[in-house]
Amino acid sequence: MKLILASNSPRRKDLLKKFGFEFDIIVSPYEEKPISSDPVLTAETFALGKAQSVFDAVNDGEAIVVGADTVVYLDGKILGKPKNELDAVKMLKSLSGKTHKVVTGYALISKNKTIKGSVETAVTFNDLSEDLIAEYINSGLWQGKAGGYGIQDPFALVKSYDGSLNNVIGFPTETVCPIIQELLK
Identity at 68, one-letter amino acid code? A
Q: How far apart are alpha carbons 126 and 109 in whole angstroms?
A: 38
The distance from CA 70 to its chain's CA centroid, rounded to whole angstroms, is 3
Provide the annotated active-site residues.
Answer: 69
Q: What H or E segment, with its residue span, contains residue 80?
A: none
Contact 138, 69 (CB under 8 A): no
User: What contacts 88, CB < 8 A, 6 or more positions away?
Assistant: 82, 137, 142, 143, 148
Q: How far apart are alpha carbons 21 and 6 in whole angstroms?
A: 14
Task: Count Cβ atoms below 10 Å from residue 120 Cβ, excluding itself.
Answer: 17
Q: Coil, strand or helix: which one is 121?
A: strand
